[in-house]
Chain A
Amino acid sequence: MADFQTSTHRAKWIFSPQQLVEKYRAANQRAKQILEKCGATLMEVDVNGSLSYPEPHMTAKDSAEKHYRTKPLSIEEEQCIKVFYENKLQEVYNNFRFPHKIQATALIYFKRFYLQWSVMEHQPKHIMLTCVYAACKIEENHVSAEELGKGISQDHQMILNNEMIVYQSLEFDLIVYAPYRSVEGFINDVEVCLVGPDAAVKLCLGDLLVMGSNPETASLHMQGNSVMLVMTSLKCSRLCKRQQDLKLIK
């Protein structure tokens, strides 16, 4: 889609850092309440797409035992798990050699999904793979669920079971913007200018993809282009420094 200005991406999915914190807190709080009430939080999706929820405690003894055993995750711990799976998502891409556009789309889906839910409610590994599958569909890079499951030794049915909840959590706003083609060209130019075509120093597009030091929030409160510009300038400044160091050594 050419027009970012009128897109759902811009209208609905860019937040201030404060708004993001509130959303994460709300999801985390809800999961904690379910944990207190039921002793567990994870929802499961069965073969026909139905959700099943944790049962509330029958007795005070059950509650006490379960409460003793399960300690809820903090917001920071949740972020840590999300970043872990965002990096795992890159591994899936490397295995399948998908184009960057699909990688970017899946990553944005994953981030958006966990604006609504806590990782304690929906298994991030399953959601991550479902986001990959959804991104392949929307970007018309047809990969069957079976193929995807086989490629990473996972049950493909789990991908299909979660598909509906992912689309609904994303509110069907599935067209997303990520300026990878232009950035890739820009990076190539920078590499040639700074260190020559044969140099060992390579800018890693994967690093750009996970959005550097603040991977969780960057793509949600900055426009894609801004994220890329910030990250690329960081990379360039490092390259320039490296170039100066090389000159000094010589």
Chain B
Amino acid sequence: MWNEESDWIGSFDALLARLAECSMCSRRSGERPGAAQMDVKILDVAAEGGYGRVFRCLDVHTGALVAMKQITMVRLSQGIPAQIIREVSLLRELHHANIVKLLRVGFTENRYVNLVFEHLDYDLHQFIVNRGYPKDATTVKSFMFQILSAVAYCHSRKVLHRDLKPSNVLINHSKRLIKLADFGLAREFADDFLYTEKLGTSWYRAPEILCHSRQYSTQVDLWSVGCIFAEMVIGQPLFQVINCRDELEGIFKLLGTPTEETWPGITKLMPNLHIYCSKFDPLGLETFVTDLEPSGLNLLSMMLCLDPSKRISAEASLKHAYFTDVNWI
């Protein structure tokens, strides 16, 4: 038995030695994998951010307009940023009419990662700011339905977006088509996961995250959708309108300071709540969101519910009375 084993080890060592021999040679330099032509012609810079730049480009094969997100690899000590890996891998799996399509991925030199997406005309933030926001109720309803469809799809695939805001909602002007973008903070979720609390843009961040909870789920996205909904109606971020020192105080001013009765578990989550801020009586959503039909206001209040366990889901939102006349979708 021993001889058999040592024979086997000997022959395997010989095999590894032969494998090692394969590398003994002179070399010539080659291209970096993926550094080959990205097959796009840059037209202009569409946007700039902390991550890098977005270029408006022309696909040299099809002649179609595309958007190229060029991300600077700052921390080369950790290779390709996990945020990019997360975004790319999730977009490879998510296929929905209201989610932006990732066309290809490439690399230039050792400093940039290029993500090529389908091109859309502008984002919802630009639409609200530059076009005097969607004044007609039909457009608001259409946009909301499409956003919720995309979010419901993500949640059904066990994906949290975690960074929903108007600048991450893209619009095709001619078709009035909405597409969710920027899945850099998105992640898969499970019942027993602890997540990071440092995410999302503060005006659209759910109260449980602002209260430093690390156990949250799909409800955080619904809060953000509620904030977007209100912003489409009033033309500016809801919690920017309320005069307060920070987002959490603004939320409590609008919806009332929570108690164990209104939000079970809040005292455990935020033991110093009574020290942190005074007890506010709710001002009510209708005070700020005036131009919204009653069913819309009802849906908004269900999205902007302090207690995450009572917050409406994306799936249920799509069946809400507010969308009964959506035969135009």
Contact = CB atoms under 8 A, between A and B. Distances in A.
Contacts of B93: 1, 6-8, 175
A54 B24 CA distance: 9
Interface string A208-223: 0000000000000000
Contacts of A49: 32-33, 107, 110
Nearest to A78: B19
Contact of A1 (B30, B78, B158): B158
A173 B92 contact: yes
A160 B76 CA distance: 9
A140 B82 contact: yes
Contacts of A142: 82
A83 to B, nearest CB: 11
Contacts of A137: 82, 85
Given A1-B188, A53-B28, A70 B22 contact: yes
A1 B159 contact: yes
Interface in B59-108: 76-80, 82, 85-86, 88-90, 92-93, 95, 105, 107
Interface string B9-23: 000100110110111
A138 B82 CA distance: 7
A239 interface: no
Given A3-B157, A40-B22, A40-B24, A52 B88 contact: no
A84 B8 CA distance: 13
Contacts of A52: 27-30
Interface in A101-144: 119-120, 123-124, 133-134, 137-138, 140, 142, 144
Contacts, number: 134
A138 B19 contact: no
A137 B187 CA distance: 12
Contact of B25 (A38, A144, A159): A38
A37 B85 CA distance: 37
Given A2-B157, A172-B88, A71 B18 contact: yes
B29 A50 contact: yes
B77 A73 contact: no
A2 B153 CA distance: 11
**Residue from the set A8, A54, A137, A142 with the largest chain B CB neighbour count within 10 Å:** A137
A69 interface: yes
A51 B30 contact: yes
A79 to B, nearest CB: 11
A109 to B, nearest CB: 12
Interface stretch (A163-171, A189-197, A199-207): A163-171
A224 interface: no
A120 B107 contact: no
Nearest to B153: A3
A52 B28 CA distance: 6
A51 B32 contact: yes
A44 B80 contact: no
B52 interface: no
Contact of A81 (B16, B23, B95): B16
A146 interface: yes
A55 interface: yes
Contacts of A229: none
Nearest to A54: B25
B260 interface: no
A42 B32 contact: no
A14 interface: no
B212 to A, nearest CB: 19
Given A48-B32, A48-B110, A1 B157 contact: yes
Given A73-B19, A120-B22, A144 B78 contact: yes
A146 to B, nearest CB: 7
Nearest to A140: B187
A163 B80 contact: yes
B46 to A, nearest CB: 23
A54 B92 contact: no
B5 to A, nearest CB: 15
22 contacts: A1-B159, A2-B156, A39-B25, A49-B32, A50-B29, A51-B31, A52-B29, A66-B25, A70-B21, A120-B22, A124-B19, A133-B79, A134-B85, A140-B82, A142-B82, A144-B77, A144-B78, A145-B79, A160-B79, A164-B107, A168-B33, A174-B88
